[in-house]
Amino acid sequence: AGLIDELEMRLLTADVGVEATERIIGGLNRKVARNELADVTALVRALHASMVEILAPCTQPLEIDTSRRPFLILMVGVNGAGKTTTIGKLAGKLKDQGHRLMLAAGDTFRAAAVEQLEAWGRRNGVPVIAQQSGADPAAVIFDALQAARARHIDILIADTAGRLHSQSNLMEELKKVNRVVKKLDPDAPHETMLVIDGGTGQNALAQAREFHEAIGVTGITLTKLDGSAKGGILFALAERMRLPIRYIGVGEQVEDLGVFDAGEFVKALLAAPAEGPGE
């Protein structure tokens, strides 16, 4: 029982959340009661398997439909989630795969965001469409989509403002972007990727709900897992939202954006040193 208590604490401090933790630990306790788990190794293996099982349905890598050109990826998420960095890393990854890329600086509220995106564009050798600070984000992304079409670009990745999920006017801004791009391509955006900071904890669930209700999220990228963030929030997201998990970001380099792998993720989560609650 002591070991199960320790595993339960580990899940809770990793932000797995009370509900998901109770379900996972409850399943383990039932197996122990039926004498199905002979030793500690079997116990940990069973824990690993039940955690992977929760995430497995959401393990869906991003697939670029090359018949839809330009394939528009709309990046959304609150300020500080790491959206612009994720765009830079994703652009580098997709360019390496042989795609022609373009970036749109749709976060017109923050001059730093435009500069950051332009820096990633230079680094990756990818054109960036931007307008003056305070320009209408929908107009910027619409213009970028037109330019991408004219230049036969395969993939356009659009940055958006780091809207705080409680600012409904910013959600309206996102809905407007959606409406405007559909005038050029009724199927756009082809991916609406929500970027979540791995250290956000259970608040990430509220963010995901809000964005999903407003514009329909099609994939999630979890960032900043190189610090103290554990990323256990993915379990609550997987159970409640059932949204595809695309990528995991663990650092600043292009190669630090990895395709999500449930088995590897759980292994890393269980290997992390356990810390007491209330960090």
Q: How many domains does the chain have?
A: 2
Tokens at residue 67, please? 């018949």
52: domain range? 2-58
Neighbours of 187 (CB within 10 A): 11
Look up the CATH number of the domain holding residue 43.
1.20.120.140
- Residue 26 and residue 134 in one domain: no
pLDDT at 2: 83
Q: 135 in a domain, yes or no?
A: yes
Q: What share of residues in the chain are helix, strand, coil (percent, to 5)?
A: 50, 15, 35
Per-residue pLDDT of the chain (279 residues; tens, 9 = 90+): 688 999 999 899 888 889 899 999 999 999 888 888 878 888 989 999 999 999 999 999 999 998 999 999 999 999 889 999 999 999 999 999 999 999 999 998 888 889 999 999 999 999 999 998 888 999 999 999 999 999 999 999 999 998 655 555 888 999 999 999 999 999 999 999 999 998 888 889 999 999 999 999 999 999 988 765 578 899 989 989 999 999 999 877 778 899 999 999 999 888 865 554 433
Q: 251 in a domain, yes or no?
A: yes
Strand locations in the chain (E)? 71-76, 101-104, 128-129, 155-158, 191-197, 219-223, 245-249, 257-259
Strand locations in 119-238 (E)? 128-129, 155-158, 191-197, 219-223
pLDDT at 278: 39
Surface-to-core class of residue 279, CB atoms within 10 Å of its CB (0-12 exposed, 13-18 middle, 19+ buried): exposed
Q: Are 56 and 50 in contact (CB under 8 A)?
A: no
Residue type (1 letter), 236: A
Q: 275 in a domain, yes or no?
A: no
pLDDT at 272: 66
Q: Is 192 helix (H, G, I), strand (E, B) or coil?
A: strand
- Residue 84 and residue 196 in one domain: yes
